[in-house]
């Protein structure tokens, strides 16, 4: 039985929130356009009957102007018959704008339910919507909802269960008589197909954009008549809070100052608020290592678990609090509506570099993970700007870089504060994030002159009203993201730790009879031999063989570097990682480790060089695969990989040679 339902609507009307409420899931939501860039499916059961819900990317028209809108149009038109109806989500504050797409879908003959979301926000502004009047004029069932408060969800489930979808028998849109001879069937679906297919339109000798504009004008004339008797609004003599805040937050000067202060506060919290949870995690892993070491006999298994797997996993999990804090602040800013202002604010700044304001969504999202960030570039209509955004987004500091930045900054930046409350380490961390942003802009400026395109771009966007963030929902989303980070990195660390332990535990000079009894000296192990091969390549950057091993193992995912270093220093016989201060001893060992010539391994020059290397190196297979999938061009994918890797090596080399 077909029980598939589609969720459709304009961007930023709460589709993802409705989806989460229906299916009890944690799909990301954001108070700005372009959060959903591909379809998402979920399931729920109501009165014993299962339903499948698909959340499609937001769109303003049936005619796509960007890749995410193309996903919407293709699914709606080509998958017709695979779903029983469309639940159309309309924002109560923008009924007129939302009804354009609603009428287009309705004229396709698709069964629909209309849900007016954020009804509470409309009532606060003195807007009254006559649901019965609207339902009569539109010919569909209309429901009120406040999805964030979970109000109206039960009524929606009931309407879906009772199959209260309604469709028009005859299209309300009249095809221009002069165009009818160009259609095989003079119905609206054929009209949409003609205007959506550039090749067919050219063959028929028509200009799709002109006819689309004409249709839009005619439809809005019809919509004006519909809403005239259904919507009324009391006068608002006082200035709305949104307007007051926007005078400051999108100010051409103070807007940037406020953004900078917010970022500085976030990075300060990343260090200060995470300090105690990180210490608790360190102590827990130390206790676990002690327990395993005590209850297992000495030998390979004991060493594998304590020195390999536990040490490797602890090197990643310990940074979970910092990642949680960063993610949570980003979700709250998105949820509140502030990120939409950042898009608007940054448009003026990004234009000279070949980008537009919408590019800031992937760039900021890159602070969490480059994979969904690259995918969110689909929201950019201009082909050249979309390509530039895809190519430079991986330069932004992602959550996988955060553990590396944190441990290196802890090694080379002294403790202390500026003005009594701003940590030097927080300033250094913010500097690394700003460095990624600046280099991304510079790279885009260079690529802008290499990629030729005549297509003009523009930014037209709707600034949503400010909303109180859903703290609990954002908390759940953050927990999910942190768990994804730990589980994905943990799988790699688990495999890498076994390989590294085996290479470090055994050596070519070891007697086979001694394998069960004890491990070899680190310098005599197979791992040291591999390191000797790598050392000449990384030595000009100031790295020893251990860091070289870390760079190699972290090619699949950057965060593996920290786990690898923790394993290598934990396996060193001169250090006892099972003591009560085991994890801190590893950090102390890294600080005091010296090269054969007596120079500190983690000197300021070496540490800064390592920061620069990981700031620009493309050390992420998942991102490489995503870039190829989005560009469908091997040349750009390989060019990005070689360019970022070459830039990382060159700049790390220069930094070390200058600072040594």
Q: Write out the binding residues.
A: 9-16, 20-21, 55-58, 117-120
Residue closest to 467 by CA, chosen among 361, 327, 340, 365: 340
- In Å, how far from its chain's centre is CA 335? 14
Annotated binding site for Mg(2+): 20-21
The Cα 422–Cα 361 span in angstroms is 27
Tokens of 19: 């989806």
Residue 9, SS3? strand
Q: Alpha helices, DSSP H only, in 65-130?
A: 67-78, 95-106, 119-124
Q: CB of 314 within 8 A of CB of 258?
A: no
Query: To the nearest 5 percent, what fractions of the chain are helix, strand and coil?
Result: 65, 10, 30
Q: 143: part of which helix (H) or strand (E)?
A: strand 142-144
Could you tell me which residues come within 8 angstroms of residue 368 by beta carbon, excluding any fewer than 6 positions away? 326, 327, 330, 398, 399, 481
* Cα dihedral 253→254→260→263 (10° resolution): -140
Reading the block at residue 141, the tokens are: 């069932």
Q: How far is CA 409 from CA 340, 342, 414, 607, in A?
A: 32, 28, 9, 8
Distance CA 424, CA 433 (A): 14
**Conformation bin of residue 634: beta by default, left when phi > 0, alpha when psi is -120 to 50:** alpha
CA angle, corner 508, sides to 502 and 510, nearest 5? 85
| Helix orientation angle between 560-571 and 471-505, rounded to the nearest 10 degrees | 40
| Segment (H or E) for 144 | strand 142-144
Please, how many CA atoms are within 13 Å of residue 187, restricted to the half-sphere of its CB? 10
Do 435 and 442 contact (CB within 8 A), yes or no?
Answer: no
All residues at 6 or more sequence positions from 95 whose CB lies less than 8 Å from its CB, including other chains: 116, 129, 227, 231
For residue 132, count other CB atoms closer than 10 A to its CB: 9
Helix, strand or coil for residue 45?
strand
Cα 532 vs. chain centroid, distance in angstroms? 38
Distances in whole angstroms, Cα of residue 575 to Cα of each of 392, 497, 616: 41, 18, 32
DSSP-assigned beta bridge partners for residue 4: 52
**Residue of 259, 479, 477, 247 lying closest to 363 (CA atoms):** 259
**How far is it, in rounded angstroms, from Cα 331 to Cα 28?**
9
Q: Tell me the chain's radius of gyration from C-alpha atoms.
A: 29
Query: Among residues 357, 399, 384, 311, which one has the least CA distance to residue 622?
Result: 399
Distance of CA 17 to the CA centre of its chain: 17
Q: How far apart are CA 233 and CA 227, in angstroms?
A: 12
Q: Residue ranges for the binding site for GTP?
A: 9-16, 55-58, 117-120
- By C-alpha distance, which of 235, 444, 440, 259 is closest to 355? 444
């Amino acid at each position: 039985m077909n029980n598939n339902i589609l969720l459709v609507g304009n961007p930023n009307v709460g589709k993802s929130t409705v989806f989460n409420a229906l299916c009890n899931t944690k799909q990301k939501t954001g108070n700005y356009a372009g959060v959903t860039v591909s379809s998402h499916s979920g399931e729920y059961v109501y009165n014993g009957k299962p339903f499948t819900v698909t959340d499609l990317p937001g769109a303003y028209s049936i005619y796509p102007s960007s890749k995410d809108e193309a996903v919407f149009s293709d699914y709606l038109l080509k998958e017709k018959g695979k779903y029983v109806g469309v639940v159309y989500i309309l924002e109560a504050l923008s009924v007129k704008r939302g009804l354009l797409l609603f009428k287009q879908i309705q004229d396709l003959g698709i069964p629909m339910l209309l849900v007016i979301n954020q009804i509470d926000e409309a009532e606060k502004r003195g807007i009254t919507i006559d649901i019965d009047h609207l339902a009569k004029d539109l010919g569909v069932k209309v429901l009120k909802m406040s999805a964030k408060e979970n109000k109206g969800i039960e009524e929606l489930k009931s309407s879906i269960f009772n199959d209260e979808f309604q469709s028009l028998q005859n299209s309300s849109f009249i095809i221009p008589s002069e165009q009818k001879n160009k259609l095989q069937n003079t119905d609206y679906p054929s009209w949409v197909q003609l205007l959506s297919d550039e090749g067919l339109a050219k063959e028929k000798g028509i200009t799709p954009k002109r006819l689309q504009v004409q249709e839009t004008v005619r439809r809005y004339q019809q919509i004006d008549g519909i809403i005239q008797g259904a919507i009324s609004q009391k006068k608002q003599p006082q200035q709305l809070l949104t307007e007051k805040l926007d005078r400051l937050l999108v100010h051409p000067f103070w807007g940037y100052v406020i953004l900078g202060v917010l970022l500085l506060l976030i990075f300060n919290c990343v260090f200060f608020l995470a300090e105690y949870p990180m210490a608790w995690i360190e102590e827990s892993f130390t206790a676990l290592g002690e327990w395993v070491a005590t209850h297992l006999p000495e030998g390979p298994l004991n060493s594998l678990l304590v020195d390999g797997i536990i040490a490797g996993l602890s090197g990643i999990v310990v940074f979970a609090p910092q990642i949680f804090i960063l993610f949570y602040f980003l979700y709250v800013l998105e949820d509140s509506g502030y990120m939409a202002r950042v898009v608007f604010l940054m448009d003026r700044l990004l234009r000279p570099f070949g980008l537009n304001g919408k590019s800031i969504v992937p760039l900021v999202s890159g602070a969490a993970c480059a994979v969904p960030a690259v995918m969110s570039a689909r929201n950019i209509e201009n082909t050249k700007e979309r390509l530039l955004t895809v190519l430079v987004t991986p330069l932004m500091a992602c959550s996988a870089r955060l553990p590396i930045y944190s441990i290196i900054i802890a090694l080379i930046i002294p403790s202390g504060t500026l003005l009594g409350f701003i940590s030097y380490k927080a300033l250094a961390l913010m500097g690394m994030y700003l460095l990624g942003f600046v280099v991304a802009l510079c790279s885009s400026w260079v690529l802008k002159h290499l990629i030729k395109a005549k297509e003009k771009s523009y930014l037209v966007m709707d600034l949503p009203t400010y909303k109180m963030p859903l703290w609990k929902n954002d908390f759940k989303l953050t927990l999910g993201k942190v768990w994804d980070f730990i589980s994905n990195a943990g799988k790699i660390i688990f495999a890498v730790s076994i390989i590294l332990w085996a290479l470090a535990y055994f050596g070519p000079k070891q007697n086979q009879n001694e394998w069960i009894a004890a491990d070899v000296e680190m310098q005599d192990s197979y791992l040291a031999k591999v390191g000797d091969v790598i050392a000449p390549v990384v030595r000009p950057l100031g790295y020893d063989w251990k860091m070289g091993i870390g760079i190699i193992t972290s090619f699949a995912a950057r965060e593996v570097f920290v786990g690898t270093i923790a394993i290598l220093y934990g396996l060193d016989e001169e250090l006892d990682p099972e003591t009560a201060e085991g994890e801190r001893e590893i950090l102390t060992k890294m600080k005091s480790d010296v090269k054969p010539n007596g120079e500190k391994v983690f000197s300021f020059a070496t540490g800064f060089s390592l920061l620069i290397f990981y700031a620009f190196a493309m050390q992420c297979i998942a991102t490489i695969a995503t870039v190829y999938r989005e560009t469908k061009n091997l040349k750009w994918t390989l060019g990005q990989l070689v360019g970022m890797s070459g830039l990382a090596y060159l700049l790390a080399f220069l930094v070390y040679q200058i600072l040594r």
